[in-house]
Amino acid sequence: MKKFEAIVIGSGFGGGITACRLSKKWPGQVMVIERGKRYPLGSFPRKPKDISENFFNLPDEKVKRPDHVPQGVMTGMYDVRSFEHMDVVTGAGLGGGSLIYANVFMEPPEEIFDERWAPNIKRQALEPYYRAAKAVLGSRPIPEDSDPRRKVIRTEYFKKTAEAMGRESELVDLNVFFGNDLEKPTPIGEQELNRFGKLQTSCTYCAECCMGCNYQSKNSVDMNYLHVAETKYNAEILLEHKAVKFIPIDENGRESVEASGEHGFIVHVRDLKSFKTKVFQCNRLILAAGTLGTNELLLRAKYEFKTMPRISSHLGEGFSGNGDFLSFVGESSEPADPNYGPVITQRVDYNLFKNFDKDRAFILEDASYPSLLAWFAEGQKPFVFKVSAIRDTIRGYWHRFLGHRNLTKVASLLHRFLRHDISWNTSIHLCMGLDKSNGKVSLDRQSRLDLNWPQKDSMSLYEAILDSVDSFKKKVRAKFWFPLPTWHLKRNITVHPLGGAALGENPNKAVTKVDDSHFGELHNYQNIYVADGALFPSAVGANPSATISALAEKVSHGITGEQPSTDL
């Protein structure tokens, strides 16, 4: 049996950061277990068939997924879970959710760190960890220089509209590669090694961030933390393998449910290609499988396998979707062009950073989508929107019959069919805010992961968001707006699941420890840590990747005893 100083389960922000920091402390003695694939330059799917199969699914897995997710063994990038009142989308692959997130690095305001957050995890206490992660991830706003290609129409569109509504639009920091020099960006599309030795491309503004960046312009953790862990500190990375269960061992190295982790753990791992089980031993175990993945592993350890019965009974409580809400405003009086630029560039504040109101606090961000989806939208337009183009085409042929041949050239026909591009005047509104963070993750009677989300308790937030979109629609004189269709079915969708293994001082109220030297360690156990979004005691309103990163840096600090630096 192969033994490691530390095994890290998951490779997103939490897993990537802890893998790097721990492998620096113990070179060649850290292993990362990732259920998904590696995505080299240019390997993210773009063809319709390939995209349709780019989901994560195991036929015998005890998981609730929507009916449209293809069956069979797939280790693709999108993991979609379906629960009552809430669907959850997460990422699989080397880099985890950082492969498909919206690039934003945003520290939440001090006000969100309420009584649910212990004193040593308030905003000020986390500042050194935010600072370290921000530097490694290369966070900065979109550059402003003389290159006209850097003009993002929707950024100006949202800014102008926000000001007309008496609100402020502010550029956000992005984990996007525009070159190594923050003062002088590298020309669009040019490649260079980043400061960690990984080849990246200066952002091409293709708006494909959430499909995986084929130019390696997104500063996902495989471009920095994981790259250094693997190439400099010889961390072993096990891909397309899924951790199934873990058991503490006694002083003789035997599995023991009575042990507390002081002698380490045995980890059972499933090879997703051969479906054989592999077994490893470690002195320390870090759970960073994402909020759902980590909660599921812990719930199975406590209730199904009963290998760790003393895990806090509050496990699974305090789940939050971070107030995620997506809507669309269509056919406005001015162009929004949602098919160009990084997927998000700015935020408009609604009672989160200013005039704080915990029941109605959220931010509005200018989401985008790739041009290939714009073509799809054109094909799905109702027939009535195509009548004028068809009429013009018939008229063109009639003119050709009369001798005016130039009117039926291919360019002319294409112009007639495409000039009313529905996406050009459509804006996508991605909001996130302070929901009540009172969901609960558990195992149902079939031992499937389940989520109880009391949506009605957060309606004050959702109604404030709906009101903001309606006001925006009126201000831009748009013809229509609508939320995601699932909203009318009393179902929301989140890409930011949080909570369930919350930090806290009292083991009778929390799942993980907050004291600095044992930060993120499970109460009642030793040497087993949580290092991802499951740690959150509540929603943060802002994009949570910055806070996940800061907490993971603090977990690493507690384990290694070394203050994280910006040099990996």
Helix H or strand E segment including 134 = helix 123-137
Helix H or strand E segment including 414 = helix 410-418
More confident residue, 182 or 467: 467
Domain for residue 47, yes or no?
A: yes
Amino acid at position 533, single letter: G
Give this prediction's pTM: 0.93
Output the pLDDT for position 125: 96
Helices 123-137 and 545-560: angle between axes, nearest 10 degrees: 100
Output the pLDDT for position 70: 66
Q: What is the 3-state secondary structure (H, E, C) of 233-285?
A: CCCEEEECEEEEEEEEECCCCCECCCCCCCCCEEEEEEECCCCCEEEEEEEEE
Domain for residue 532, yes or no?
A: yes
CA distance 318 to 448: 19
pLDDT over 70, % of the chain:
90
User: Measuring CA to CA, which residue among 359, 487, 382, 488 is closest to residue 435?
Assistant: 359
Amino acid at position 350, single letter: Y
Output the pLDDT for position 381: 58
CA distance 432 to 364: 7
Residue 483 has which token pair?
A: 């939320």
Domain for residue 396, yes or no?
A: no
Output the pLDDT for position 490: 84
Contact 431, 365 (CB under 8 A): yes
Name the DSSP class of 115.
Answer: T
Output the pLDDT for position 72: 73
- Give the contacts of 239 (CB within 8 A, at least 6 positions apart): 34, 36, 37, 38, 94
User: Measuring CA to CA, which residue among 317, 503, 352 is closest to residue 432?
Assistant: 352
Beta bridge partners of 349: 363
pLDDT bucket at 406, cuts 50 / 70 / 90: low
Residue 535 has which token pair?
A: 């740690």
Domain for residue 392, yes or no?
A: no
Q: Is the pLDDT of residue 68 over 70?
A: no
Q: Is the pLDDT of residue 119 over 50?
A: yes
Output the pLDDT for position 424: 87
Amino acid at position 548, single letter: I
Task: Give me Rg for the CA atoms of the chain.
Answer: 24
User: Measuring CA to CA, which residue among 12, 9, 10, 171 is closest to residue 496?
Assistant: 12
Q: Is the pLDDT of residue 382 over 60?
A: no
**What is the average pLDDT score of the chain?**
92
Q: Where is average pLDDT lowest: 11-15, 109-113, 143-147, 553-557? A: 143-147
User: Measuring CA to CA, which residue among 495, 531, 15, 525 is closest to residue 247?
Assistant: 525
Span 409-415, mean pLDDT?
55
Residue 111 has which token pair?
A: 């006000």
Q: State the number of CA atoms in the 13 A half-sphere of 234 facing the CB.
A: 7
Residue 240 has which token pair?
A: 């397309």
Beta bridge partners of 42: none
Q: Is the pLDDT of residue 172 over 50?
A: yes
Q: Where is average pLDDT lowest: 42-56, 67-81, 108-122, 377-391? A: 377-391
Span 213-222, mean pLDDT?
98
Q: Residue 146: which domain range?
A: 3-372+426-560
Domain for residue 172, yes or no?
A: yes
Helices 545-560 and 13-25: angle between axes, nearest 10 degrees: 20
Domain for residue 320, yes or no?
A: yes
Largest Cα–Cα distance in the chain? 95
- Cα dist from 106 to 89, 537, 548, whole Å: 21, 18, 11
CA distance 310 to 183: 52
- Cα dist from 437 to 108, 330, 431, 491, whole Å: 16, 31, 16, 16
Output the pLDDT for position 369: 87
- Cα dist from 179 to 193, 211, 343, 565, whole Å: 9, 21, 18, 21
Domain count for the chain:
1
| Other Cβ atoms within 10 Å of 145 Cβ, number | 11
Q: Is the pLDDT of residue 399 over 90?
A: no
CA distance 327 to 472: 11
Q: Which is it for the CA torsion 253, 295, 104, 176, positive or negative?
A: positive
What is the per-residue pLDDT across 424-441, written as a single tens digit (0 to 9) for each?
899 999 999 999 999 999
Residue that is written with structure tokens 């199975």 in the block? 300
The CATH number given to whatever domain includes residue 172 is 3.50.50.60
Q: What angle do CA 539, 544, 550 make, to 5 degrees?
A: 110
Bridge pairing between strands 30-34 and 2-9: parallel
What is the per-residue pLDDT across 309-360, written as a single tens digit (0 to 9) for each?
999 999 999 999 999 999 999 989 999 999 999 999 999 999 999 999 999 9
What is the per-residue pLDDT across 293-315, written as a single tens digit (0 to 9) for each?
999 999 999 999 999 999 999 99
pLDDT bucket at 156, cuts 50 / 70 / 90: very high
Helix H or strand E segment including 162 = helix 153-164
What is the per-residue pLDDT across 516-545, written as a single tens digit (0 to 9) for each?
999 999 999 999 999 999 999 999 999 999
Q: Is the pLDDT of residue 493 over 90?
A: yes
What is the per-residue pLDDT across 556-568, written as a single tens digit (0 to 9) for each?
999 999 999 998 9
Q: Is the pLDDT of residue 404 over 60?
A: no
Domain for residue 410, yes or no?
A: no
Span 94-110, mean pLDDT?
97
Beta bridge partners of 557: none
Domain for residue 525, yes or no?
A: yes
Residue 206 has which token pair?
A: 């293709």
Q: What angle do CA 64, 486, 372 make, to 5 degrees?
A: 95
Task: State the DSSP string of 456-495.
Answer: GGGHHHHHHHHHHHHHHHHHTT-SEEEE-GGGGGT-EEES
Output the pLDDT for position 384: 44
